[in-house]
Amino acid sequence: MTEITFNNPKKIFFIGIGGISMSGLAEILHYNDFEISGSDMKSSAITERLENLGIQVFIGHKSSNISDKYDLVVHTAAVKEDNPEFQEAQKLNIPLVDRAELLGQIMNNYKYSIAVSGTHGKTTTTSMLSHILLEGKKDPTISVGGILNVIKGNIRVGEKDFFVTEACEYYNSFLKLNPQVGIILNVEADHLDFFKDLDEIVESFNCFAKKIPSDGILVVNGDINEYDSLVSNLHCKIVSFGSDMNKHDYSADNIEYNALAHGSYDLIYKGKKLDRIQLQVTGLHNIYNSLSAIASSLELGITLDDIKEGLLQFNGTQRRFEYKGTVSGVTIIDDYAHHPTEILATLTATENYPHKRVWCVFQPHTYTRTKAFLDEFATSLSLADKIIVTDIYAAREKDPGDIHATDLLNKLTELGKEAYYISSFDDIECFLLQNCADGDLLITMGAGDINIIGEELLGN
């Protein structure tokens, strides 16, 4: 592909520039004197922000948006070859690359590029690292898959030493990245509409680790069942974190939770206590996320004092156990969990959070995932006292006709749970208003648009 170097700015067009990741990359290049334009299906707060920065945004995909002045056209994986802009770029012999390829090229411009991978926890861990790097005055460039309050968005453009980003395994996208530091948080079966099975996923993560150069660092969860396969034939330094202080480089001991389920623990390095760590986010899963962030930061020479303060300043990203408000004594939390393991982690965290009963309104995400993990979804959701299931959020998929939200309802009923299937969001809101009581905890859960329910209940 066309090499992207900051000392040789080019003219680049983004198909789908309004996406949260695409817009972030467009901003990075814009601030480095590239001439950026793009298109999207509709205007949004993101496209308006880009226009305010001086980036030209076309609404609608038209062949006339593309001209031979562009050196490169970038597209998302969702853009198909029948897209008129894609076709016009081909006609004009303009190089075409996808978002992941561009990200990999951008990473090459930084001394320390950090890529956070894993089936779960990427956004949270990237955000933790961002807070630590900011506290350490490293002036990082940040690309995160959620809205991070400290940078007032999903992107921050800094100097050319530190770059931190998420690395997604879907479609093997992260194999196009070039990290100096790679993090593997966990590896589980997911995205089975692309991967054949878990073995293929493990192989993909091993290939990601092999992208790290010999003078680079892999920070990896030593508790992963397939750990040996993940780290086989690597040439970089390997740093592990996990539950066993005698086996892993970094671990947590004497874990405690405060009244809001925020964890604290003794940080153990090679069997010895370094310090006490306090978090402002909930659950055991975030303790392990923080261990990976701490290990990476210490390996990069950031002081433990800056790490502790950075973690203390991090109180979560939007849609990750996000407190939305209280109505009639009912606390409303929104969470992005859409995999059984994520649901289990979130609902387990509620055990240490003040509540009388836990209500979970769950919106399954994609037909393939719902079908593949139907039993596991039911088991994880059963930790809630009362469950409402709504229709499957299709996202990129078409309804195959062989899976429905009521299949999950039936599994929950078989487990003896009080569960309901309600299709309409308006009907769900009415049901909750009639049945939730003072002191209850209500969690809207899923990667679709289920957060609308909590916002409507709060009058937002």
Domain boundaries, the chain: 11-98, 110-313, 322-458
pLDDT for 1: 58
CB atoms within 10 A of CB 81: 9
* β-pair type (272-282, 262-269): antiparallel
pLDDT for 239: 98
CB atoms within 10 A of CB 434: 7
123 among annotated binding-site residues: yes
pLDDT for 276: 97
Q: Under a CB-based contact definition with an 8 Å cutoff, are residues 88 and 27 in contact?
A: no
C-alpha to C-alpha distance for 136 and 386, rounded to whole angstroms: 44
C-alpha to C-alpha distance for 63 and 87, rounded to whole angstroms: 8
Q: Under a CB-based contact definition with an 8 Å cutoff, are residues 288 and 255 in contact?
A: no
119 among annotated binding-site residues: yes
120 among annotated binding-site residues: yes
C-alpha to C-alpha distance for 43 and 128, rounded to whole angstroms: 31
pLDDT digits (tens, 9 = 90+) for 278-337: 999 988 889 999 999 999 999 999 999 999 999 999 987 777 778 899 989 999 999 988
pTM of the model: 0.82
What homologous superfamily does CATH list for 11-98?
Answer: NAD(P)-binding Rossmann-like Domain (3.40.50.720)
* β-pair type (250-257, 262-269): antiparallel
E strand or H helix at 275 = strand 272-282
E strand or H helix at 324 = strand 322-327
341 among annotated binding-site residues: no
> Residue 4 has which token pair?
């992207």
C-alpha to C-alpha distance for 273 and 21, rounded to whole angstroms: 38
DSSP-derived 3-state class of residue 261: coil
145 among annotated binding-site residues: no
**H runs (alpha helix) in 136-223:** 198-210
pLDDT for 172: 86
The residues carrying an active-site annotation are: 122-123, 166
pLDDT for 282: 86
In words, the CATH class of domain 322-458 is alpha beta
124 among annotated binding-site residues: yes
User: Starting at the edge strand that comes first in sequence, how are the strands of the sheet with 72-75 ordered?
Assistant: 56-59, 35-40, 11-15, 72-75, 96-98
pLDDT for 321: 79
Query: What type of residue sits at position 281?
Result: V
Q: Which residues pair with 214 in a beta bridge?
A: none
Over the chain (460 residues), the average pLDDT of each successive run of 10 is 86 93 92 96 91 95 95 88 94 94 93 94 93 96 85 86 92 90 92 86 96 96 94 95 94 92 94 95 91 97 97 83 89 91 89 89 95 95 96 90 96 96 96 94 94 89
Residue 399 carries which DSSP code?
-
Of 430, 108, 412, the residue nearest 421 (C-alpha)? 412
pLDDT for 460: 64
Domain 110-313 has CATH 3.40.1190.10: yes
Q: Crossing angle, helix 284-299 and helix 340-349, to 10 degrees? A: 100
439 among annotated binding-site residues: no
Q: Spell out the SS3 assignment of 169-193.
A: CHHHHHHHCCCCEEEECCCCCCCCC
